[in-house]
């Protein structure tokens, strides 16, 4: 069985600025990490991988995104692909899905493709289902458990306050939400070894992608404008010693709670 | 000619309350919209429940044998309806079922798709799709190049539209093929304790960085408040993901909200709606949360919480 996992390298620091001219996000410190929900998808992939199975990891992003690949290599991935091309920059969700789908087709076919349910930064949750559609696979989002029996995947999907037991014919794409399992961390020994592992760099030309269909050029959903947010309120500031502030806060909260009990609510 | 539509998926024979909010969002675009409800065995009687100000027709789309988990088949049906009826703009709620189905449909019909919008405006004939930016104190306006476009709307962005007299309704059947089969459904304990809560205490990154998460939790227990957190608090596993407040999490409308150690980025503040009283505790006098709160306490939360939790 061939298993693929797609991960995103996201900024650790959420303090970003928006370039007033291009409306692009300007990442602050540049430090990144593997997207939180992707760690649960990696864990699911790791548990799924049996003797004779291969596990390949893909990421689309800048050269720095190699760091995310190395974490997954240390957790047992066999091959790591960095999808890195100027033409990919500025992709919308559909553009990202096109690049991932082209790579998965080129290096596949895969029986199971896993991703995190949503990224920490964009958080659209669209890339998984779009990639599945492009690959002609069914998709199951928010899967918390996955077992493969022959050519059938048994998936437990969390939706609202319920678990749905689903079966899907392989190949299938599954997205995994934050908190689905308890991800293993790489051991130091495995991480040191993974850091020496080959990373396969892949460009648009390698995948036969027309640059006009992806990235900024191909994006259908674009940011046209940014607006500073003017917060409307002028907060009353409580000052004093710690005890004075605690008393003031307690008085405020008590008053509000009392008003709520009497129905309504009192606006300070 | 533009043709705006609202898509909803009927589950257990009931319409979600998103239909009325989406009708209000559509009305902001200035032209009447038609509402498409997808489901199995839909009855024309449903049209009366779906007639809102801003809606000029209700189309019931029966998708025999398909349940909301069969997103591949439902995407077939949604794409076919978009093509058959020449829809140029589709609005839906930003929730997991519709997002999955319409992401697939967007590929099929070549539509641009924008997520989690909080307001819509028309400018020079195009729809400006407003949403909070990631991590920055700005809102961004998005637009889709060409047609069709698919827009998901964050729940709670528009007050629900009023009901009207029943509008014209038709029923059609659209087939879709799915490679997924659905089995047993197991109920989980409800995680819905936040959305209806009157009093919510929120722990932010400042609370975990200063080791005060447990003290914040104790304070919430003490005053009988629901406990929630900002994104970093959920990311680090201090609270379940469902209890994360913000643009990418749960939206709450508490009457009283006490926030410890949250800087107040727009992605967070978009998760608190209504006109309840907001009290913020932060050790940074310039934290943006100050402009969002009614009462601001500039203090070290550790000392303050010790005093608060010690009170009778």
- Residue B139 inside a domain? The answer is yes
Does A263 have pLDDT greater than 70? Answer: no
Nearest to A178 among B106, B241, B258 (CB): B241
- From the centroid of its chain, how far is CA A210? 25
- B134 and B218 in a single domain? The answer is no
Q: How does pLDDT run across B30-75, given as a tens digit for each residue?
A: 888 999 999 988 888 888 889 999 999 999 999 999 999 999 999 9
- Residue B189 inside a domain? The answer is no
User: By the CB < 8 Å criterion, does A189 face chain B?
Assistant: no
Q: How does pLDDT run across A132-179, given as a tens digit for each residue?
A: 999 999 999 999 999 999 999 999 999 888 899 999 999 999 999 888
Instruction: Give the pLDDT confidence score for residue B101 in this predicted structure.
Output: 97
Out of B173, B208, B229, a domain closes at B173
Answer for the pair B227, B242: CB distance below 8 angstroms, yes or no: no
Contact A229 B128 (CB under 8 A): no
* Helices B96-109 and A127-135, packing angle to 10 deg: 40
Query: How many structural domains compose chain B?
Result: 2
- Work out how many CB contacts closer than 8 A connect A with B: 282
Contact B136 A18 (CB under 8 A): yes
- B128 and B62 in a single domain? The answer is yes
Instruction: Give the pLDDT confidence score for residue A30 in this predicted structure.
Output: 66
Give percent above pLDDT 90 in chain B. 58
Is residue B97 within a helix (H) or strand (E), and if so which, with residue range? helix B96-109
User: By the CB < 8 Å criterion, does B122 face chain A?
Assistant: no
Query: Which residue did the predictor score with more confidence, B117 or A13?
Result: B117
Contact B135 A16 (CB under 8 A): yes
Angstrom distance (rounded) from CA A87 to CA A211: 5
- B205 and B130 in a single domain? The answer is no
- B166 and B17 in a single domain? The answer is yes
Instruction: Give the pLDDT confidence score for residue B17 in this predicted structure.
Output: 75
Closest CA to A202 of A40, A60, A12: A60
Contact B297 A238 (CB under 8 A): yes
- B167 and B258 in a single domain? The answer is no
Nearest to A126 among B113, B241, B264 (CB): B113
- B16 and B82 in a single domain? The answer is yes
Q: In the CATH scheme, what is the code of domain A2-218?
A: 3.40.50.620
- B137 and B223 in a single domain? The answer is no
**CATH code for the domain in which residue B227 is found:** 3.40.50.1220
- Residue B152 inside a domain? The answer is yes
**CATH code for the domain in which residue B42 is found:** 3.40.50.620
Does B14 have pLDDT greater than 70? Answer: no
- φ/ψ of residue B251, rounded to 5: -105, 125
Tell me the chain A residues in contact with residue B133 when contact means C-beta distances shorter than 8 Å: 18, 25, 226
Tokens of A240: 């004093």
Q: How confident is the model at residue A28 (pLDDT cuts 50, 70, 90)?
A: low
- B136 and B235 in a single domain? The answer is no
Angstrom distance (rounded) from CA B127 to CA A52: 52
- B102 and B246 in a single domain? The answer is no
- B154 and B40 in a single domain? The answer is yes
Model's pTM, two decimal places?
0.84
Residues in B 86-105 with any Cβ partner in A closer than 8 A = 96-97, 99-101, 103-104
Answer for the pair A78, A62: CB distance below 8 angstroms, yes or no: no
**B303 by DSSP, 3-state: which?**
helix
User: By the CB < 8 Å criterion, does A32 face chain B?
Assistant: no
User: By the CB < 8 Å criterion, does A133 face chain B?
Assistant: yes
Instruction: Give the pLDDT confidence score for residue A231 in this predicted structure.
Output: 66
Domain interval for residue B85:
4-173
User: By the CB < 8 Å criterion, does A109 face chain B?
Assistant: no
Residue ranges per domain, chain A?
A: 2-218, 231-268
Does A22 have pLDDT greater than 80? Answer: no
Contact B298 A239 (CB under 8 A): yes
This complex has an ipTM of 0.86
- Residue B185 inside a domain? The answer is no
Angstrom distance (rounded) from CA B268 to CA B24: 24
User: By the CB < 8 Å criterion, does B302 face chain A?
Assistant: no
């Amino acid at each position: 069985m061939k298993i693929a996992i797609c991960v995103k390298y996201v900024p650790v620091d959420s303090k970003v600025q928006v370039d007033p001219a291009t409306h692009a996000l300007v990442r602050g410190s540049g430090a990144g990490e593997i997207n939180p929900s992707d760690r649960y998808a990696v864990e699911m992939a790791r548990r799924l991988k049996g003797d004779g199975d291969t596990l390949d990891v893909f990421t689309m992003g800048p050269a720095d995104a190699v760091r995310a690949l190395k974490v997954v290599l240390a957790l047992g991935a066999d091959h790591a692909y960095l999808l890195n091309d100027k033409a990919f920059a500025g992709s919308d969700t559909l553009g990202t899905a096109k690049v991932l789908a082209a790579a998965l087709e080129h290096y596949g076919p895969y029986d199971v493709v896993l991703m995190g349910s949503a990224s920490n930064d964009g958080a659209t949750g669209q890339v998984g289902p779009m990639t599945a559609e492009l690959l002609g696979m069914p998709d199951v989002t928010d899967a918390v458990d996955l077992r493969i029996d022959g050519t059938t995947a048994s998936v437990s999907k969390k939706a609202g306050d319920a678990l749905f037991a689903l079966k899907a014919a392989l190949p299938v794409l599954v997205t995994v939400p934050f908190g689905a399992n308890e991800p293993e961390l790489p051991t130091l020994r495995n991480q040191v070894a993974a850091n020496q592992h080959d990373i396969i760099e892949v460009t648009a030309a390698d995948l036969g992608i027309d640059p006009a269909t992806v990235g900024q050029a191909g994006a259908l959903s674009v940011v046209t404008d940014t607006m500073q947010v003017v917060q409307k309120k002028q907060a009353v500031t409580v000052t004093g010693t710690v005890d004075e502030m605690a008393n003031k806060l307690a008085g405020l909260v008590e008053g509000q709670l009392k008003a709520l009990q009497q129905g309504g609510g009192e606006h300070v | 000619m533009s043709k705006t539509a609202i898509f909803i998926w009927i589950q257990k024979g009931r319409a979600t309350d998103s239909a009325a909010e989406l009708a209000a969002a559509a009305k902001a675009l200035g032209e009447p919209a038609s509402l498409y409800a997808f489901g199995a065995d839909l009855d024309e009687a449903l049209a009366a429940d779906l007639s809102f100000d801003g809606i000029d027709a209700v189309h019931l789309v029966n998708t025999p044998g398909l349940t909301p988990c069969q997103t591949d088949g439902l995407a077939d049906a949604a794409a076919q309806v978009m093509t058959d009826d020449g829809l140029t703009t589709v609005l839906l709620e930003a929730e997991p079922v519709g997002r999955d189905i319409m992401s697939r449909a967007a590929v099929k019909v070549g539509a641009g798709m924008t997520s989690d919008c909080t307001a819509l405006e028309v400018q020079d004939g195009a729809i400006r799709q407003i949403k909070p930016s990631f991590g920055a104190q700005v809102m961004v306006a998005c637009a889709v190049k060409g047609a069709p476009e698919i827009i998901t709307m964050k729940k709670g962005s528009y007050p629900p539209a009023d009901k009207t007299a029943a509008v014209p309704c038709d029923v059609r059947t659209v087939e879709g093929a799915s490679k997924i089969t659905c089995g047993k459904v197991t109920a989980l304990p409800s995680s819905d304790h936040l959305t209806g809560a009157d009093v919510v205490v929120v722990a932010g990154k400042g609370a975990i960085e200063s080791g005060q998460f447990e003290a914040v939790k104790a304070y919430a227990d003490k005053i009988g408040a629901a406990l929630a957190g900002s994104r970093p608090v959920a990311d680090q596993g201090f609270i379940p993901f469902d209890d994360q407040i913000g643009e990418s999490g749960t939206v709450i409308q508490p009457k009283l909200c006490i926030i410890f150690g949250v800087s107040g980025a727009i992605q967070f503040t978009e998760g608190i709606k209504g006109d309840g009283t907001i009290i913020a505790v932060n050790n940074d006098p310039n934290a943006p949360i100050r402009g969002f709160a009614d009462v601001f306490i500039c203090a070290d939360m550790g000392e303050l919480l010790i005093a608060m939790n010690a009170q009778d």
